[in-house]
Amino acid sequence: MIKAVLFDMDGVLADSEEFICEAAMKMFEEKGLTVKPEDFLPFVGAGENRYLGGVAEAYHFDLGSMDDAKARTYAIYGDIIKGRLKALPGAVSFVKRCHREGWKCALATSADHVKMVYTMYEIGLPLDHFNACVNGLDVEHKKPHPDIYLEAARQLGVDIKNCLVVEDAVNGVEAARAAGARCLALTTSFSKDELKGADWFAEDLSALPEDAVKW
């Protein structure tokens, strides 16, 4: 029986991928390296350490302090999303439905806390809309490891087997499966074939299959 919904953030509630990519590219440019948007794709959903660090490694580039690189990327991100970043279709209404149905809600993102705050405030779903919020700094092992979803379920006091994870990334679907949760995969970032292993699929939360919440 479904008792809780665990939401990934990027690509599920907000389409922030192009903005964090834009911010990261500007950060690298400030450091003297020109990178391409496609360089970041293998690291989507794995947290900003891998998102930035993986690209730096691919170019054999010394990024210096990861904390400084992330701080600068987030500062750029916070500026460029203003008035541009919107909630994805169905996101706000589904979170509200969860509350009406009595399902607990958790935000579980590999992004750091500062990005989570910037993003959710901008789309009109600040953190007080969720019973628990877990970010990439709260767990040792990021997605595709199951830690973030297990921690979210623990904070909610709900068995992970009674949780629906909503994901959009390959790493996230693998994390949900490894945790033992059921998974709805949104094809906002990857194709259905790439997200194999999920229990249900939808273009976004406005096209939610009712089977995903009727079990």
Token pair in block for residue 3: 């008792």
Burial of 211 (0-12, 13-18, 19+ CB in 10 A): exposed
Beta bridge partners of 14: 10, 87
Token pair in block for residue 161: 């087997």
Whether residue 31 contacts residue 18, with contact meaning beta carbons closer than 8 Å, is answered with no
3-state secondary structure of 164: strand
**Can you say how many angstroms the Cα of residue 107 is from the centroid of all Cα atoms in its chain?**
8
- Is 147 considered catalytic here? no
- Is 62 considered catalytic here? no
- Phi then psi for residue 40, to 5 deg, are -90, -15
Q: Rounded to an integer, what distance in angstroms lies between the CA atom of residue 65 and that of residue 99? A: 41
Which residues are catalytic, by number?
8, 10
